Amino acid sequence: MARRRGRNLIVPQAAQGIEQFKGEVMRRKGYTVNMNEPENVKYEVAQSLGIPLTTGRNGHLSTEQAGKIGGQIGGTMVREMVRMAQQKLIEKQ
């Protein structure tokens, strides 16, 4: 059975910074991002994947569809964080 992950940040004060990072990363990837509302990039990602994401309830989406949207965003963010960490390690040498 799959275990549900917590969706709360360990440091709640980091929420705004995480959202800004998401916006910057997704903009570099080619998505149009309103930096005042970077959380809304999910709608553009969904549209590019052909997934009918709407505001409000999206109970009509399959788990696979929702995962594709979140995976596209989260995966891009994680790849960028790894790249940044590798760059820091190189700079320390």
Question: What pLDDT sits at residue 43?
Answer: 94
Question: What pLDDT sits at residue 10?
Answer: 85
Range of the domain at 26: 12-92
d(CA 87, CA 93): 10
Handedness of CA 74, 23, 42, 37 (dihedral sign): positive
Does any domain span residue 1? Answer: no
Does any domain span residue 6? Answer: no
CB 31 within 8 A of CB 44: yes
Does any domain span residue 7? Answer: no
d(CA 59, CA 26): 25
d(CA 82, CA 13): 22
- When divided into structural domains, the chain yields a total of 1
pTM, two decimals, is 0.80
For the chain, 93 residues long, give each residue's pLDDT as a single digit of tens: 555 566 787 888 988 999 999 999 999 999 999 999 998 999 999 999 999 999 988 889 999 999 999 999 999 999 999 999 999 999 988
Question: What pLDDT sits at residue 2?
Answer: 57
